[in-house]
Amino acid sequence: MADLSINMAGIRSPNPFWLASGPPTNTGYQADRAFEAGWGGVVWKTIGDPIVNVNSRYGALGYKGQRVMGLNNIELITDRPIEVNLKEIREVKKRWPDRAVVASLMVESSREKWHDIVKRVNDTGADGIELNFGCPHGMSERGMGSAVGQVPEYTCQITEWVKEAARIPVLVKLTPNVADVVYPGLAAQRGGADGVALINTINSVTGVNLDSLVPNPNVHGHSAHGGYCGPAVKPIALNMVGSLAHHPEFKIPISGIGGIESWSDAAEFIAMGATSVQVCTAAMKYGFRMVGDLIDGLGRWMDSKGFKTIADFRGLASNRMRDWGELDLNYRIVAHIEPDRCIGCQLCYIACEDAAHQSIRLVEGSRVPRIDEATCVGCNLCSLVCPVPHCINMQTRNGQPVKSFKEYVAAGEAPRGNYPLHEGDEAYL
């Protein structure tokens, strides 16, 4: 099997699978159980000044019978004393010297407070520190969490304070609740961070109870916005990881977080530029033993592709990211229906006729639709709604130059589809 071991900003672990800071990493007992199951690392539930958590903490979004597509939580950092957490970190690290143990920290924004807690973590033997600049609820209202991560100058300044005292690698956990994650990512790098972790949870309310009219979760008749995570956030997380990894000025390693449930999810994050991947919601759903499938699946896939190490494919997908204006306008694909696979549901026809480009025709005497290649713009919609795998394939039709929109307008033709052209369309150029 391929070598899954990693070096994440100086933090080594036998595989890239870490438990993210959260409910599964709140105690030494949980860390021991995680390592027994095979996890490569744990990021301890965020440590700071003692707080009191509410009762009724989670809300979830289900979809089409799948439970917890998205999870919302209004739980804050650990409510256990700092001394207890640091003692357990020290004990766990002694028992598991080959695993990554990272302390997640959050205190008020003063150099003295940060120096104090960092120096205490230095003495535990922890492998690294993760600065929680992403929590979007509860702590941000106190001037911590995402309130820091949303202002690049604060991100840079506090990272500098931490690096003054830290003797171990420092990761900065970034908030997704920004217009462009590149700016705080570069700020963390300027502050001396050894790496970043992203994404943290997204501002959210998962639903409203239509009997009580109280948003979820209900805390004695009231609620609050929380942090959204789980499979539903994966596309957002992949985009943000790729945005940083692809940026020419960003040079430090990334720990990817957001909706990872399977080995293939992890492979996608690594291909987009992550070195380690962190899992939380899936572990809450399926338990710690899921890591066995993650390790086995990733290793087998790497073997099938000829990748010997994680570094062999890290970032290969982000290297293919481009600005929209750099994409090849002469590349053309069209839909193709495999008649032997088609079950005649005609969902493709409905989708194309009502919401796309009216490029699928019904054929008299047959339930199998026909693609009109002359007007098909290769949007992929039909293949996405088709319930039969590989029934609708997108095929290339290269070598057919594409006119500019202006040329189509001048010729009175529809640009690669049956769009109606109107007087004044040139203004959109």
Q: Check if 342 is active-site.
A: no
CB 42 within 8 A of CB 23: no
- Tell me 389's DSSP state: T
Q: What is the four-CA torsion angle of 84, 89, 94, 96, rounded to 10 degrees?
A: 140
CB 247 within 8 A of CB 181: no
- Tell me 141's DSSP state: G
Beta strands in 208-366 (DSSP E): 226-229, 254-257, 274-279, 333-337, 360-361
Of 6, 2, 197, the closest CA to residue 100 belongs to 6
| C-alpha to C-alpha distance for 410 and 257, rounded to whole angstroms | 49
Three-class secondary structure of residue 43 per DSSP: strand
Of 391, 390, 395, 346, the closest CA to residue 368 belongs to 346
Q: How many CA atoms lie within 13 A of 142 on its CB side?
A: 17
| C-alpha to C-alpha distance for 423 and 403, rounded to whole angstroms | 19
Task: Compute CA distances 179 → 3, 136, 184, 240, 348, whole Å.
Answer: 37, 15, 10, 11, 35
Strand 6-8, strand 11-13: pairing: antiparallel
Q: How far is CA 334 from the centre of its chain?
A: 30
Give me the DSSP letters along 334-348: EEEE-TTT--S--HH
Question: Active site residue: 135, 156, 352, 382, which one?
Answer: 135
3-state helix, strand, coil in the chain (%, to 5): 35, 20, 45
| C-alpha to C-alpha distance for 103 and 254, rounded to whole angstroms | 17
Q: Which residues are catalytic?
A: 135
